[in-house]
Amino acid sequence: MSADWEITNWSVQPERMFDLTERVALVTGAASGIGRAVALGLDACGAHIALADRDAAGARAVAARLRHEALVVEVNVTDEAQVQAMVQAVLGRFARIDISFNIPGINVRKPAVELTSAEWRSVVEVNLNAAFLCAREVGKVMLQQQRGSMINLASARGLTGGPGQSVYSVTKAGVIQMTRCLALEWAPHVRVNAIAPGYLKTPLVKEIMKDTAWFERIRNLHAMKRFGEPEEVVGAAIFLASDASSFVTGTVLSVDGGWTAGQG
């Protein structure tokens, strides 16, 4: 007789929980920063990767480092027709999309009264509208397949806000609420989650890091007293992409060095 604590019928075998062998992952924003790190991490776990970016040369450079089959798609994710063509290109090569990461984002750091309407619209267009376009078009595929894991890139700023961060925080909060709504709409077969990084040394952040006073102040607001590296998101990305998170949907996973813990 088995002890009452024994698991005799694992839904996913522990040794295969993080195995992505033969799965197809679409990563937008794959040419640099978090997108590049995620693409490399998924490849290391066995996935085939579709690398989508406006920077096709950068995406090809990442693809050249991958061990498994890869596809590069040049795309402007704010253009609906190009997003639809991107999805069709991935289906044309791989016939399915098992995993999707919606990553591109921009920021304009200004006090709200100095923020122009054009700047507001430009950030909303990339961070929120484009995220929705990608989610909607990939979601159609995943719903038809009746399987898939979608991960949207939010931000710790979408949870906490901050001075000079109005439009960025609004868009990332919007991504979080979109994630929750899609998780409810697309369950039980399609899981939708978000990752909310703190400050990472990405191209978006490195420019502002040149302001040493700002850097020291923000660094010290992290419990770990440092900025993260893009690759430190990869563990969370693989968890949410894989069967290890088979009962996880509609959640926001913070990877922020303790940023949000100190912002309450």
pLDDT digits (tens, 9 = 90+) for 233-246: 999 999 999 999 99
- pLDDT of res. 2: 54
Residue 262 lies in a domain: no
Residue 261 domain-assigned (yes or no): no
Structurally, the chain folds into a number of domains equal to: 1
Is 121 within the bounds of a domain? yes
User: Is residue 240 a contact partner of residue 193, using CB atoms and an 8 Å limit?
Assistant: yes
> Residue 114: which domain range?
21-254
Helix 130-145 to helix 166-186 angle, to the nearest 10 degrees? 10
Q: Please indicate, yes or no, if residue 11 is contained in any of the structural domains.
A: no
Tell me, what's the pLDDT at 59? Answer: 98
pLDDT of residue 13: 83
- Tens of each residue's pLDDT in the chain, 264 residues: 456 678 878 888 887 899 999 999 999 999 999 999 999 999 999 999 999 999 999 999 999 999 999 999 999 999 999 999 999 999 999 999 999 999 999 999 899 999 999 999 999 999 999 999 999 999 999 999 999 999 999 999 999 988 889 999 999 999 999 999 999 999 999 999 999 999 888 877 887 788 888 888 888 888 999 999 999 999 999 999 999 999 999 999 999 999 888 775
pLDDT score recorded for residue 213: 87
Q: Starting from the edge strand earliest in sequence, which strands make up the sheet with 148-153, in order?
A: 70-74, 48-53, 24-28, 99-102, 148-153, 190-197, 252-255
Evaluate whether residue 236 is within a structural domain. yes
What is the token pair recorded at 195? 């990752």
Tokens (6 digits) for 100: 């999707």
Is residue 96, in this structure, part of any structural domain at all?
yes
Is residue 247 one of the residues assigned to a domain?
Answer: yes
DSSP-derived pairing of the beta strands 190-197 and 70-74: unpaired
Transcribe 91-103 into DSSP letters: HHHHS--SEEEE-
Q: Could you tell me the CATH number of the domain that includes residue 180?
A: 3.40.50.720
Q: What is the predicted pLDDT for the residue at 217?
A: 87
Question: Structure pTM?
Answer: 0.94
Handedness of CA 171, 119, 203, 129 (dihedral sign): positive
The three-class DSSP label of residue 86 is: helix
**Does residue 253 contact residue 195 with C-beta atoms inside 8 Å?**
yes
Cβ atoms of 124 and 171 closer than 8 Å: yes
Task: Enumerate the H helices of the chain as residue ranges.
Answer: 33-44, 56-63, 80-94, 117-124, 130-145, 157-160, 166-186, 203-206, 212-219, 234-241
Q: Which residues are catalytic?
A: 168
Report the alpha-carbon distance of residue 104 to residue 100 in Å, rounded. Answer: 13
Residue 264 lies in a domain: no
